[in-house]
Amino acid sequence: MTEAYVDHLSYALGDVRQSLAEAEARQQLVSDPSALEGAGFAHHHVCSADVDAYSLARATVEPLRERLGTIDIIIYSTCLPINGSVHGQAEFEASRDVKHFMSFPASHLMADFDLTSARVIGLNQQACTGMIGSIALARDLLAANPDNRRVLCVTADRFPEQALYEQSYNLISDGGAACIVSDADSGYRILGHFHVTNGGMVNANDDETVGSFFSFSHQVISAAVNRAGLTIADIDWVVPQNTNVKAWEILTRLLGVDMERVFLGSIAEVGHVISGDNIINLKQLADEGRLERGQRLLLFMAGYGSNWQALVLEVV
């Protein structure tokens, strides 16, 4: 099987930085700010009215412009279906023409960055796990066709105006993330992946969602590590989603992992950036010089739908 590597990480956040107190004043929270602070959150980032999800995608990819080279495939992931089109409800109501719901952001990205040889794939039913799902799909596409050499994975979402910015006791930020998956021996080698979707939980409430988190997370993480031919003791860093720190304290005990190996360096500043947390935390971990060649990393994300995905990487 063709080896696949993840490299060239980038992300962008909503342009308005808010404290928990400011989010409460704008009626964007469900919980008391002190509860969210105790869960590890302090600030989040939201988009001003004139910044849409595609603006986040462009801002995410722009730092990679000189590194893009020839891109064979663009996988563009959105968590919220409303972010799957650059235009939307207002344009449709004015014209009654459904083509406004098909102004696909991946096509705009292709044009804006002159990626004319790329094939486009949209991914929008894996919720917060979409970026890990994109990377796994990119690996499979490289293995299936030797003509596929470089895949640009992008995710971008912003909540609609008036939305609550708390989901299942987590503080949300608008944002996007990107990486390139290729056969070039650089960055992080993909060792294993596992994914579970439990469609029966699509209508679960917040408490039911939290209740399912631990059993499915343990299952998915254990399976991903096993598929990589490793044990959990072989994992040097867990690079998680920015979920309530208390939940991670419980999950690490179930897994037998030292909490000091779980890197939540960005949670206080950026909150839970929908599908982007793993890329953000991995980039910060690397930028701080805390990674060494040969280390094994576990990326994990849970999302509505309900979906759980884990990815095992090796620093090269």
CA 271 to the chain's CA centroid: 12
Mean pLDDT, the chain, whole residue set: 95
- CA 97 to CA 283: how far, in whole Å? 42
* pTM for the model: 0.95
Residue pLDDT, tens place only, 210-233: 778 889 999 999 999 999 999 999
- Of the candidates 36, 47, 78, the one whose C-alpha atom is nearest the C-alpha of residue 243 is 36
Percent pLDDT > 70 in the chain is 100
For residue 296, the enclosing domain spans 188-315
Does 93 share its domain with 223? no
**Same domain flag for 177 and 234:** no
Is 28 found in the same domain as 169? yes
Are 309 and 207 in the same domain? yes
One domain, residues 76 and 15: yes
Q: Which of 149-153, 189-193, 276-280, 303-307 has the lowest mean pLDDT?
A: 303-307
Q: Indicate whether 229 and 291 sit together in one domain.
A: yes
In the listed set 182, 208, 237, which residue is the last one of a domain according to the structure? 182
Band of residue 206 on the pLDDT scale cut at 50, 70, 90: confident
What pLDDT is recorded for position 1? Answer: 61
pLDDT at position 202 is: 79
Give 100's pLDDT tier (boundaries 50, 70, 90): confident
The per-residue pLDDT for range 287-299, each reduced to its tens digit, is 999 999 999 999 9
What size, in residues, is the chain? Answer: 316
| Sign of the alpha-carbon torsion through 110, 114, 116, 117 | negative
Domain co-membership, 143 together with 49 = yes
The residue among 181, 177, 198 whose CA lies nearest residue 189 is: 181
CA distances from 106 to 35, 92, 119, 128 (A): 38, 20, 10, 18
Q: Does 23 score more than 90 pLDDT? A: yes
Parallel, antiparallel, or unpaired for β 5-13 and 175-182? antiparallel
> What would the mean pLDDT of 201-206 be, rounded to a whole number?
80
Same domain, residue pair 118 and 11:
yes
Domains identified in the chain, total number: 2
HSE of 212 in the Cβ direction (CA atoms, 13 Å)? 22
- What band does 208 get if pLDDT is binned at 50, 70 and 90? confident
**Same-domain pairing of 242 and 287:** yes
Look up tokens 């490299």; give the residue.
7
Do 23 and 136 lie in one domain? The reply is: yes
The secondary structure of residue 313, as a DSSP letter, is: E
Longest Cα pair distance anywhere in the chain, in angstroms? 58
Angle, vertex CA 213, rays to CA 207 and CA 219, nearest 5:
155
At 203 the pLDDT is 79
Please compute the mean of the pLDDT values over residues 69-75 and round it to a whole number.
97
Tell me: do 136 and 219 sit in the same domain: no
- The CATH number of the domain where 84 resides is what? 3.40.47.10
Q: Of the candidates 182, 212, 238, which is a domain's last residue?
A: 182
Using the 3D structure, point to which of 182, 209, 228 is the last residue of a domain: 182
* pLDDT tens track for 40-71: 999 999 999 999 999 999 999 999 999 999 99
249 and 104, same domain (yes or no): no
Per-residue model confidence as pLDDT tens digits over 259-279:
999 999 999 999 999 999 999
Q: What is the pLDDT of residue 66?
A: 95
Terminal CA-to-CA distance of the chain, rounded, Å?
A: 18
